[in-house]
Amino acid sequence: MLSQIDKQIFRTWRQYAVEPHIAKLTGRVIRATGPRIAVIGNCQAFGIAYAMKVMNPSAVVDHFSAIGHAKASMDLLVKTLDTYDYIFTHDFLAGHLRGGGDSEELRSRLPKTTLTPAISFAAFHPDLIYIEDKSQPLHGFIFGPVGPYHSALALFAYRAGLSVDEARALFNENVFQALGYFDVWNDAARELLETSKARFGVDLSEDLMKWARRGVFMYSILHPKSFVLFDIARRMWEKVGLKPPSTDFSYYEIHDLARAEIFPVYPGIAKVFGAQGGYLFKLQNHHLANSVGDFLNLPQYLTASFKTYEKAGPERLSNARVDAWIADEQTKNLLLGLARENLKAGLTPTL
């Protein structure tokens, strides 16, 4: 089966080498007369590419997804991308392309390539973790009811032998306080700003303040809302000398990443940011034309998570944070005690 990047390579050569000749023969006017722009990367790359198209509708803007395995080699990708005037790429590891090759090799072979930041921000979702599956060489994660997104509290509860009801009792403010979930903002902001400046050469401090004024700007740790990606696209244009026009992006924005899984902002944490929170977990649905999708409340999510962990087996359920909680008797006993106290008090949230 061809990957998205394989299909995009085919489309690129059709657009670049075939369509101009057809247009010349038929007299058809080609509308895309601006620069050719390629955006390569992870799940955020489409949103950046779309924003760039909004900023210049006459440009050819193509998205290459560095997710999954492609049949194309680095040689073919480089030959294809060399037809573009501007290339923007996220960091990506070897393994996506046949025969290897990562983003550093791409940049060395095509110096016109600009490294683009991928936004990561944990303050709204401090409980969200990934469970690595070391039996898988690429994207090796345990997938559960909400894809790769797991709750550290849920995993702890399962490994500590708690019931689903006892696990629900962990989802309360006294537990969040004990674990430092209310104190993540400063570290998350510092990491984002320092990495963006040191690794990518962009200062996002003003952008972060603007995003924060709009409330919760992430669907998960790695999935920002579309206006965040628009600002990243604008910064990338400025970096390569393109002048972003004044555009009301909110009128044209599409929330592409909202089709994927959405991890809730827990009520106690949302309150810190003046937002409304909940325990509604959205399942991925990339086929909105066929179905409106589905959601899980907290008991449903925990029940499904426990089934996932039971099926995977305890030897595959390693996460550094939860491992540390389990290994530290003081932390483990604190969480177990809070679970029992909250359960006795009837503090078992659902939504």
Query: Angle 205-213/226-239 helices, nearest 10 degrees?
Result: 160
- Going from the first residue of the chain to its last (351 residues), give the mean pLDDT of each consecutive group of 10, the final group possibly shorter: 89 80 66 87 97 95 92 95 97 90 96 97 98 68 95 98 98 98 98 97 97 97 98 96 90 94 97 96 86 95 97 88 97 98 96 90
In this structure, what token pair is assigned to residue 85? Answer: 């005037």
* The pLDDT of residue 32: 65
Distance CA 132, CA 315 (A): 11
Q: Which residue has the tokens 């400025």?
A: 238
Q: Which residues pair with 212 in a beta bridge?
A: none
What residues does each domain of the chain span? 4-115, 128-185+260-344
pLDDT of residue 316: 84
Q: Which of 105, 114, 289, 271 is nearest to 182 (CA)?
A: 271
303: amino acid identity, one letter: T
Q: Which sign does the torsion angle of CA 306, 311, 313, 317 carry?
A: negative
Q: Which of 112, 3, 140 is nearest to 67 (CA)?
A: 3
Pairwise CA distance, residues 119 & 48, whole Å = 11
pLDDT of residue 323: 94
pLDDT of residue 132: 84
**Residue owning tokens 């932390």:** 331
